[in-house]
Amino acid sequence: MAGTSTDKFSAGEQGLGYIYQARLALLHLLQLPEDTSIFLEKDDDLDFIDRKGVKSLGSLKHKAIGDRLTDLSTDFWKSVNIWLVRYKCDGRAASNLRFFLFTTGKVSADSFLSRLLSNQPTPSDDEETLTELAKKALSASTSKLIAPISAAFEELNDTEKQDFLERILIFDSSPRIGDIPVLIRDKHMRSIRREHREFVFERLEGWWTDVVIKQLTGTRPEGIFGYEVSDKLSNFAEEYKADNLPITFRGKLPSDNIDISADPRLFVAQLREIGISANRIRNAILDYYRAFEQRSAWARESLLVLGEVEDYENRLADEWDRYKDVIFERLGDDSAEDALRQAGAELYNWAEFETGKIESLRIRARVTEPYVLRGSFHILADSTPQPRVYWHPRFLDRLDNVLEVAS
């Protein structure tokens, strides 16, 4: 390929082929009926199975720009070799197989392979049959690679040869690997706002890659159906509606190890002050990380309107302030430390477990992911020079000491 290494030991082309295989599979599954299923690397590069059980084996060839297929192109005959084995195993003319060759190259106009193109008209009675054309091409070959394939083809009788060749369709000038994302975004995401399509595609391809890996490693033995892709794409699209935001950090972990005892951040120090357990502090650190990173992702994708986060934080702080007054009003200046910590823990428990039930405390109406709300409280509790929310009733009085210890 143009622009790639010419080193004969380079694995770049092979690696590109694997990525192309997965991308082209996704594109075709979006184009085919939703009850079509697909397997990668089973009987061929791609196996398509329709709702009637008809199987189509697809070979993929991602070629250099300007590449052409001629009568004796090894790309075609190597695919024929794979298909002949399957054709014979599945009952020959009694089988329900079809064979597809997807190539980024172009079939030469003077090659008999042009008769196998998907858009060719039915030949007239006076034209040579596909069997005659194939035999003529093979008789001109001196290739050691093609010779055994020719011998395997000759094992079929004339009726089977014609039947086999009529099952083959060539899709030349197939989209190149870099063109597929654009095709998917432009043709299959029209219901999604244009400025969001690139991000939706990235998420769709990320999900698709995970499903493909599971199939290739055997953890998912069944085929991947078109309706699964449609459903996933619809779910992603819903997250980009005006009353929603995409959730992309669920289950994610920070790159650095979590060290609860050595974490110097203010929101962690606050939790220590009210005696929260180590496991709960670890969960708080995760909520903080996911909420912070999620906000950053939304900002990068320009999904937030001006002042939206500030307004959201103001709502949280206001609600916290109201509930804080309810919890702390039973305390006095002489309240014991145990009573102070108990009140702080009660306030924190409310923020962690009860606020999620209050619809007005969502950043948007349909954003219900718990870490967004919980992590936002921790972000407020980590504000400097003074936290906007706190749990221990005397925390602000002790702030200088806490900061000194943390430093």
Give yes or no: residues 275 and 206 share one domain.
no
N- to C-terminal Cα separation, the chain:
56
Share of the chain above pLDDT 90, in %: 89
On average, the pLDDT of the chain sits at 93
pLDDT bracket for residue 17 (50, 70, 90): confident
Are residues 197 and 344 both part of a single domain? no
Structural contact between residues 42 and 212, judged by C-beta atoms closer than 8 angstroms: no
Q: Which domain does 292 fall in, by range?
A: 266-406
50-100 tens-digit pLDDT: 999 999 999 999 998 999 999 999 999 999 999 999 999 999 999 999 999
Q: Quick one: residue 256, left, alpha or beta (phi over 0 = left, psi -120 to 50 = alpha)?
A: beta
Residue 281 is encoded by which pair of tokens? 């502090």
Query: Does 177 fall in a domain?
Result: yes
Q: How many CB atoms lie within 10 A of CB 86?
A: 16
Residue pLDDT, tens place only, 156-169: 999 999 999 999 99
Residue 3 domain-assigned (yes or no): no
**Domain endpoint, select from 230, 250, 285:** 230
State mean pLDDT over 332-342. 95
pLDDT of residue 201: 96
Question: Which of 203, 230, 257 lies at the terminal end of a domain, its last residue?
Answer: 230
Question: Could you report the per-residue pLDDT of 188-220, keeping only the tens digit for each?
Answer: 999 898 999 999 999 999 999 999 999 999 999
Coil, strand or helix at 96: coil
Same domain, 58 and 201: yes
Per-residue pLDDT, averaged over 125-135, amounts to 88
Q: Would residue 6 count as lying in a domain?
A: no
Q: What is the pLDDT of residue 127?
A: 81
Measured CA angle at 129 (ends 125, 130), to 5 deg: 140
Q: Residue 117 pairs with which residues in a beta bridge?
A: 170
Residue 254 counted as domain residue: no
Helix or strand or coil: residue 185?
A: helix
Task: Kindly report, residue by residue over 212-244, the tens digit of the pLDDT.
Answer: 999 999 999 999 999 999 999 999 999 999 999
Q: What is the DSSP string of 260-299?
A: TTT---HHHHHHHHTT--HHHHHHHHHHHHHHHHHHHHHH
Q: How many domains are there within the chain?
A: 2
For the cut 50, the answer to whether the pLDDT of residue 2 exceeds it is: no
Please give the pLDDT value at position 214. Answer: 97
Model pLDDT for residues 361-402, shown as the tens digit of each residue: 999 999 999 999 999 999 999 998 899 999 999 999 988 777
Are 187 and 233 in contact, with CB atoms under 8 Å apart? no
pLDDT of residue 400: 76
Judge if 215 and 329 occupy the same domain: no
- pLDDT (mean) for 340-359: 97
Helices (H) and strands (E) in the chain, counts: 14, 8
Per DSSP, 117 falls in state: B
Instruction: Answer yes or no: do 192 and 58 share one domain.
Output: yes
Token duo for residue 259: 């060290």
Are residues 60 and 192 both part of a single domain?
yes
Element (H, E) at 347: helix 337-349
Assess whether 102 and 196 both reside in one domain.
yes
Structure token digits, residue 40: 């990668």
Question: In this structure, what token pair is assigned to residue 264?
Answer: 């110097």
Q: With contact defined as beta carbons under 8 Å apart, do 383 and 265 qualify? A: no
- Does residue 201 lie within any of the structural domains? yes
Residues 127 and 173 in one domain: yes
Specify whether 79 is located in the same domain as 210: yes
Is 53 in the same domain as 160?
yes
**Contact between 56 and 100 (Cβ < 8 Å):** yes
* CA atoms of 72 and 149, how far apart (whole Å): 11
Residue at a domain's end among 230, 258, 279: 230
Whether residues 192 and 318 fall in one domain: no
- Name, in order, each residue with C-beta under 8 angstroms of 108's C-beta and a sequence gap of 6 or more: 68, 69, 70, 114
The yes-or-no verdict on residue 101 having pLDDT over 50 is yes
Q: Are residues 278 and 164 in the same domain?
A: no
The pLDDT of residue 8 is above 90: no
Confidence band (pLDDT; 50, 70, 90) for 3?
Answer: very low
Q: Is residue 251 part of a domain?
A: no
- Cα separation, 66 vs 63, in Å, equals 8
Could you tell me if residue 1 is inside a domain?
no
- The pLDDT tens digits of the residues spanning 259-281 come to 999 999 999 999 999 999 999 99
361 lies in a domain? yes
